[in-house]
Structure 1
């Protein structure tokens, strides 16, 4: 992990492939990359899979730069519009237009009554999370 100084621009490519913000790949980034990574984590927690997927690291990077996010496949139709809105805002390609951490804390999905849904996590989402975790462990062993 690296501490990012306010107002400073960085150019080194850092981070794990699935969580890398597009501006990191373009080698011109600041603190906004953390909100992107948090958006990727939120997407995974809600769906069980990363928003950008490919067989190779280059493929993942290409998918991130393309920026197409799937909100149509299961379980997304059953996820609230407010949750999808927050994920979209966190995964905005342009870091200048991306939601800030203060705005995340004020987002309706975070603020709504301060209570979690009573709806249980879909078993398919749990299964996909387990597969994603197992795949990452396998990749680490292969390195």
Structure 2
């Protein structure tokens, strides 16, 4: 589904305050300014969507080494703007960038929340289980032990 005319897909990250707000308002875990700044500067590629007022309403990024491993992250659309093709447009743009700039055979991965599963499956993503297990590790902040 193409992006509705009331929205514009932009290359690059949103401003830091918008990134932090969009994460929080779309239901992703909150991050502090240092974490957000690292996400904006440490991404391999980033896309965000603005509405006609110029407000950031959606985003997504790729973390990667530029050679073979790429992680889709921070896919978020504000609840009031969901169902309008924003997430699909962001994901399609990110995948097109990988296809254009990464070598053939690149490994593209993500962790999907249940509401996003259909979007990813429509683009060919498959569950890695039971052949593999997804895991994560949350580390303690320095000085918190």
TM-score by length of 2: 0.29
Higher helix fraction (1 or 2) = 1
TM-score by length of 1: 0.30
